[in-house]
């Protein structure tokens, strides 16, 4: 169960997942049956799908993102569930501990809370003139508060003033951006969430319109026009999730499979966007960029 | 067969076990070494990358160092965090992937191992620790070459080693893992084990590897983290002191072995089944016929000689059975032959017994007849009869006595022959005189019967006992004449190879085929001839048969009943010897040589003494008679003459027997006085005793003519040749 079936990024992630499953001996339609549900950021639909999937009594449920995980957990405390792209699973109450989740849930986390400071650092590095930073987040997501905390702690060292922008839809994003951009030297941190994921084009377009240098958590943001992305490789996490699904199908208990952290970080810079914003990317940054979008 | 298969199978399993184990071991060790190499390279790569950071000139700005650190992070994904500490131990730079970088933080690390260790030893591998409870990390610190270069400290995420070990594939369920020097799991395909900070220091293979290092056997069978039995190999990763273990579950490692075991088992089973089937077949093929043989042999052994063993196997057993059958058949045959022989012998004995009975009957009859006649004649003599009648009666008495005498002589001959006291004295002589004597002997009788007797002369010479051969011919011719009433008798001879065949033909009654054997028995006369008991006793052919056997002359008989018979005797032929003289005729004219001869007669029977004495005196002899040698000597004192002859009874009533009495007298006169014995005892033993002493023995009753013949022989000037068969028995009256 994930956000959107149509997105290019989602397709490659699902492809990576299926590919890994095939490598492990599970062929969709031959050895296993997979039902996909794409809620596309619609919490109501997401909720309905969670109930629907739990009703199918599958052998294992793969969940992407914190809200989807939360909804599935509301539906079932027994069906084995593997998550990806979930932040702070302990704090979110999904698992008891990372080493020993204990229940029916395990998976792959994406970001540590310290990333809040890191994104701020990256933003400051590519756009040193930024003095005001808006953190676009989903206020009901606990992990976002942790990111916020880390960023806030680091803000003084970068001489930056932070502004929290809690959003639930495109309109709120648009409004927040418009409001924030009234003052100069603004920048933006976009936290990983279904809402930001689903409305990423709105966010990117707003950033461009209001000339806000922004840092994003995933590569596809940069590819689709975001200035810079720094974060984990979700494809890697989906591959890992496939190994966990495999082990659960073979009898392993989710509660005994440790929650793994995503370790592969990548830095992407969209030079087009940078030029549009009049940003000259420093060579020290370019030197450690994994991919530069021209 | 099972044993061979089993041993073969076990050897096969053993060798394939060794081979399999060795090859698996080799593969595992190679993989472990390869993995150790990769991990070593991984660590070395990180070391080398970090090494670059220590080579920045001490004058390099923190900005330069920061840039260098970011480069490091970009190039080495495993390094999650990098710090540079100046020579004083102050942290000047900290770069992280997930948190904000720190520049000139100034944290004092001078007392911490990650600073002191690399300063002392250039390099420091910190212990494995876990971030966020579960992520394995290690501190890798390097000191610069110069003292003021400071120390570069990297936090290395060891999960990347998992990439290395997860790429190692051993069989289907085999795996590789890495253990640090303290025995903690660093990398394992099952990342959860690593994340759970699993302590594997107590696993036997880890203990052994840690304790022994290179010297210890690198491979053993042990239990892995999950408690499975595995074939394990390891290789050390030298710089950090880690070890790569490559393990394969025993079950999988030996799966081919188990397959081979199963295959061997199946082969064994098949072999066993085949063996059992073969055994059963062999048993059916061999044991059954052997049992048949056994019971058959037992049956034959018990005497069931007609039992036959039936085995149709077409092999040696059948041959054996057939041999058993043949043996049984032979036994049966021999047994039958034996029985037949026993029967024959029994029959012969019966026949002999019958013959003896017949003999006794015939003898008593033939003796009783003349005795009866004698009684009648004697009674007639008592009456007053005229002299003519008296002479006639006396002649009759003589005839009766002669008949009895003949009978006794013939019996004596048989007795002598049976006693075996006759020893043939072969000589080479001409047959002509013998044949001539036949003619002269029987010419009269033949003429009386109106028969034509013809004897063919022959110039042949033969080797035989002339006396005994003459007896044979006498009997044969005598028989021929007796049993022929018309026609004639022909005697002739001709040479047949090395033999002279002397033939006696007659045109008599002939002998039926079925009686040819019997006619050679004693007292046999042809049946249906009772009326003409031809004055013979039936002893003639019995004597002929015995004599021929004694001399080794085959005798042949050809006969047609009613037409006649032909007896033929085959005598060894000899070349003519003109210089040889003809043997003297035993039938010389008897002259009267008795006159004035002194004869001593010893007999314990006074009547006999008187009878013989009277008879001898009547013949002109002087007679001294006595019941013993002493009595005779006493009477001889008066006389100055030496006796000319001693006649003694064999059995005397005194202490001496006849032989001893004769010896007594001979000693008394110191001269070998001629002597012979008389005995009423016809036992063959008497004959043998007398023969052994060189004495002639006459059996009582001695007819006067025999007595006279003996006297003639002994009192002639030239003593007579030793001839046991006296002339009285030679007359051939059978």
Closest chain B C-alpha to A261 CA, distance in angstroms: 8
Q: What does the CA dihedral A176, A182, A187, A189 come to, rounded to 10 degrees? A: -10
Residue B89 inside a domain? The answer is yes
Instruction: Note the pTM of the prediction, 2 decimals.
Output: 0.51
Q: CB A98 to CB B67 under 8 A?
A: no
DSSP A96: S
Statement to judge: residues B16 and B117 lie in one domain:
yes
Tell me the CATH number at B510: 3.30.565.10
Tell me the CATH number at B676: 3.40.50.2300
Counting residues of chain B whose pLDDT is more than 90, the rounded percentage is: 6
Statement to judge: residues B16 and B120 lie in one domain:
yes
Rounded distance, CA B426 to CA B506, Å? 29
Q: Is the pLDDT of residue B529 over 70?
A: no
Give, in order, the Cα–Cα distances in Å from B218 to each of B37, B207, B213.
Answer: 16, 11, 8
Q: Is the pLDDT of residue B197 over 60?
A: yes
CA Rg, chain A, in Å? 19
Q: For residue A215, what pLDDT is reported? A: 94
- Of B259, B283, B307, the position where a domain reaches its end is B283
pLDDT, tens digit, 9 for 90 and up, residues B604-644: 887 788 888 888 887 888 888 888 888 888 888 766 778 88
Closest residue in A to B132 (Cα) is A98
Residue B731 inside a domain? The answer is no
Statement to judge: residues B568 and B657 lie in one domain:
no
Residue B80 inside a domain? The answer is yes
Q: Is the pLDDT of residue B730 over 70?
A: no
Residue B733 inside a domain? The answer is no
A150 in reach of chain B (CB within 8 A): yes
List of chain A residues whose C-beta atoms are within 8 Å of the C-beta of residue B98: 111-112, 114-115, 118, 265
Closest CA to A112 of A263, A290, A285, A268: A263
Closest CA to B567 of B480, B503, B518, B625: B503
Closest chain A C-alpha to B75 CA, distance in angstroms: 8
Q: Is the pLDDT of residue B131 over 90?
A: no
pLDDT, tens digit, 9 for 90 and up, residues B317-356: 888 888 888 888 888 888 888 888 888 888 888 877 776 6
Statement to judge: residues B349 and B462 lie in one domain:
no
Residue B301 inside a domain? The answer is yes
- Residue labelled with tokens 């005497």: B303
Q: What are the tokens at A158?
A: 């970068």
Statement to judge: residues B381 and B435 lie in one domain:
no
For A209, residues 6+ apart whose C-beta sits below 8 A from its C-beta are A177
Q: CB A97 to CB B74 under 8 A?
A: no
pLDDT, tens digit, 9 for 90 and up, residues A199-218: 888 999 999 999 999 999 98
Statement to judge: residues B357 and B229 lie in one domain:
no
Rounded distance, CA A136 to CA A125, Å? 19
Statement to judge: residues B16 and B130 lie in one domain:
yes
CA angle B218, B223, B226 (to 5 degrees): 130
Statement to judge: residues B372 and B250 lie in one domain:
no
A111 in reach of chain B (CB within 8 A): yes
Closest chain B C-alpha to A174 CA, distance in angstroms: 29
User: SS3 of B627, please?
Assistant: coil
Residue B421 inside a domain? The answer is no
Highest mean pLDDT: which range of B146-160, B517-531, B547-561: B547-561
pLDDT, tens digit, 9 for 90 and up, residues B91-108: 888 988 888 888 878 888
- Picking from A115, A261, A284, the nearest residue to B132 by CB comes out as A261
Adjacent-strand bridge partners of B567: B504, B557
pLDDT, mean of residues A189-204 = 88
Closest CA to B131 of B95, B157, B93: B157
Statement to judge: residues B121 and B247 lie in one domain:
yes
Statement to judge: residues B399 and B310 lie in one domain:
yes
Statement to judge: residues B389 and B473 lie in one domain:
no
CA angle B339, B341, B343 (to 5 degrees): 70
Quote the number of domains for chain B.
4
Higher pLDDT, A132 or B198: A132
- Of B416, B440, B463, the position where a domain reaches its end is B416
Given CA atoms B654, B656, B658, B663 in this order, what sign does their dihedral have? Answer: negative
Residue B82 inside a domain? The answer is yes
Q: Is B177 left (phi over 0), alpha (psi -120 to 50) or beta?
A: beta
Tell me the CATH number at B368: 1.10.287.130
Q: CB A290 to CB B99 under 8 A?
A: no
What are residue B676's phi and psi, to 5 degrees?
Answer: -145, 170
Evaluate whether ipTM surpasses 0.90.
no
Residue B586 inside a domain? The answer is no
Statement to judge: residues B116 and B249 lie in one domain:
yes
Rounded distance, CA B523 to CA B357, Å? 10
- Least-confidence region, from A55-64, B73-82, B580-589, B597-606: B580-589
CA angle A187, A39, A201 (to 5 degrees): 30
Q: For residue B461, what pLDDT is reported? A: 92
Rounded distance, CA B339 to CA B350, Å? 16
Task: Check if the beta carbon of residue A201 is closer than 8 Å to that of residue A214.
Answer: no
* Enclosing domain of residue B354: 292-416
Rounded distance, CA B366 to CA B210, Å? 139
């Amino acid at each position: 169960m994930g956000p959107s079936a149509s997105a290019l990024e989602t397709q490659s992630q699902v492809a990576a997942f299926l590919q890994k499953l095939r490598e492990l001996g599970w062929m969709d339609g031959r050895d296993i049956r997979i039902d996909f549900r794409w809620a596309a950021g619609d919490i109501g639909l997401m909720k309905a799908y969670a109930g629907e999937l739990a009703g199918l009594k599958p052998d294992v449920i793969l969940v992407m993102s914190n809200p989807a995980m939360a909804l599935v957990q509301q539906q079932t405390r027994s069906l084995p569930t593997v998550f990806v792209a979930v932040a702070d699973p302990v704090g979110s109450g999904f698992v008891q501990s990372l080493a020993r989740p204990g229940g029916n849930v395990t998976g792959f986390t994406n970001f540590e809370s310290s990333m809040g400071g890191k994104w701020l650092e990256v933003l400051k590095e590519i756009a040193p003139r930024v003095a005001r930073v808006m953190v676009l987040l989903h206020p009901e997501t606990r992990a976002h508060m942790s990111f916020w905390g880390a960023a806030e702690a680091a803000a003084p060292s970068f001489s930056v003033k932070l502004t929290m922008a809690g959003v639930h839809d495109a309109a709120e994003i648009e409004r927040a951006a418009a409001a924030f951009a009234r003052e100069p030297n603004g920048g933006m941190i976009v936290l990983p969430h279904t809402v930001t994921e689903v409305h990423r084009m709105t966010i990117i377009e707003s950033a461009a319109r209001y000339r806000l240098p922004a840092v994003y958590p995933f590569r596809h943001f940069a590819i689709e026009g975001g200035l810079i992305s720094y974060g984990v490789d979700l494809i890697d996490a989906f591959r890992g999730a496939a190994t966990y699904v495999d082990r659960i199908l073979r009898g392993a208990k989710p509660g005994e499979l440790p929650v793994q952290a995503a370790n592969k970080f990548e830095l992407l810079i969209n030079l087009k966007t940078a030029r549009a914003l009049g940003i000259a990317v420093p060579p020290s940054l370019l030197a450690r960029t994994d991919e530069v979008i021209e | 067969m099972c044993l061979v298969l089993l041993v073969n199978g076990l050897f096969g399993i053993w060798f394939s076990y060794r081979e399999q184990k060795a090859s698996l071991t080799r593969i595992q060790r190679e993989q472990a070494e390869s993995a150790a190499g990769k991990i070593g390279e991984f660590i070395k790569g990180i070391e080398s990358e970090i090494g670059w950071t220590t080579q920045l000139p001490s004058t390099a700005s923190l900005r330069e160092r920061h840039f260098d650190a970011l480069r490091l992070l970009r190039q080495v994904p495993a390094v999650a965090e990098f710090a540079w500490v100046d020579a004083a131990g102050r942290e000047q730079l900290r770069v992280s992937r997930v948190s904000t970088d720190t520049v000139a933080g100034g944290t004092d690390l001078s007392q911490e191992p990650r600073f002191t260790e690399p300063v002392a030893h250039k390099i420091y591998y910190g212990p494995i620790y876990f971030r966020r409870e579960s992520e394995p990390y290690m501190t890798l610190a390097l000191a610069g070459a110069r003292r003021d270069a400071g120390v570069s400290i990297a936090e290395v995420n060891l999960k990347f080693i998992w990439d290395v070990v997860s790429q190692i594939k051993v069989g289907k369920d085999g795996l590789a893992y890495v253990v640090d020097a303290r025995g903690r799991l660093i990398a394992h395909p099952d990342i959860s084990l690593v994340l759970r900070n699993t302590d594997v220091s107590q696993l036997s293979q880890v203990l052994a590897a840690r304790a022994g290092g290179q010297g210890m056997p690198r491979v053993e069978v042990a239990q892995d983290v999950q408690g499975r039995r595995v074939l394990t190999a390891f290789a050390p990763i030298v710089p950090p002191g880690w070890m790569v273990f490559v393990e394969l579950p025993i079950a999988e490692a030996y799966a081919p072995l188990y397959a081979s075991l199963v295959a061997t088992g199946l082969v064994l089973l098949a072999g066993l089944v085949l063996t059992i089937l073969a055994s059963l077949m062999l048993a059916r093929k061999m044991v059954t016929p052997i049992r048949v043989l056994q019971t058959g042999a037992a049956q034959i052994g018990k005497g069931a000689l007609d039992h036959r063993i039936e085995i149709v196997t077409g092999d040696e057993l059948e041959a054996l059975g057939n041999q058993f059958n043949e043996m049984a058949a032979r036994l049966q045959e021999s047994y039958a032959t034996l029985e037949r022989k026993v029967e024959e012998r029994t029959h012969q004995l019966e026949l002999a017994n019958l013959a003896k009975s017949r003999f006794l009957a015939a003898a008593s009859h033939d003796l009783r007849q003349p005795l009866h006649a004698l009684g009648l004649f004697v009674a007639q003599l008592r009456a007053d009869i005229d002299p003519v009648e008296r002479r006639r009666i006396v002649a009759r008495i003589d005839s009766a006595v002669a008949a009895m005498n003949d009978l006794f002589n013939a019996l004596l001959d048989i007795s002598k022959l049976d006693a075996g006291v006759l020893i043939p004295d072969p000589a080479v002589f001409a047959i002509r005189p013998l044949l001539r004597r036949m003619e002269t002997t029987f010419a009269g009788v033949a003429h009386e019967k109106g028969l034509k007797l013809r004897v063919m002369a022959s110039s042949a010479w033969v080797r035989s006992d002339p006396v005994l051969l003459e007896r044979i011919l006498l009997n044969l011719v005598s028989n021929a004449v007796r049993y022929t009433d018309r026609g004639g008798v022909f005697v002739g001879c001709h040479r047949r190879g090395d033999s002279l065949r002397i033939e006696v033909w007659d045109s008599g009654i002939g002998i039926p085929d079925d009686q040819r054997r019997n006619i050679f028995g004693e007292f046999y006369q042809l049946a249906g001839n009772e009326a003409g008991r031809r004055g013979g006793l039936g002893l003639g052919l019995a004597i002929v048969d015995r004599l021929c056997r004694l001399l080794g002359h085959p005798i042949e008989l050809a006969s047609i009943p009613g037409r006649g018979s032909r007896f033929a005797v085959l005598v060894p032929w000899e070349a003519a010897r003109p210089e040889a003289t003809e043997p003297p005729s035993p039938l010389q004219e008897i002259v009267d040589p008795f006159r004035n001869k002194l004869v001593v007669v010893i007999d314990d029977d006074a009547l006999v003494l008187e009878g013989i004495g009277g008879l001898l005196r009547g013949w002109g002899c002087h007679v001294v008679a006595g019941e013993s040698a002493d009595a005779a000597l006493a009477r001889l004192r008066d006389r100055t003459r030496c006796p000319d002859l001693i006649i003694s009874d064999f059995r005397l009533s005194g202490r001496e027997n006849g032989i001893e009495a004769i010896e007594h007298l001979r000693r008394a006169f110191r001269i070998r006085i001629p002597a012979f014995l008389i005995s009423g005892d016809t036992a063959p033993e008497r004959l043998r005793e007398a023969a052994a002493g060189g004495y002639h023995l006459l059996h009582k009753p001695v007819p006067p003519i025999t007595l006279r013949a003996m006297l003639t022989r002994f009192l002639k000037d030239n003593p007579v040749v030793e001839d046991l068969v006296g002339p009285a028995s030679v007359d051939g009256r059978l």
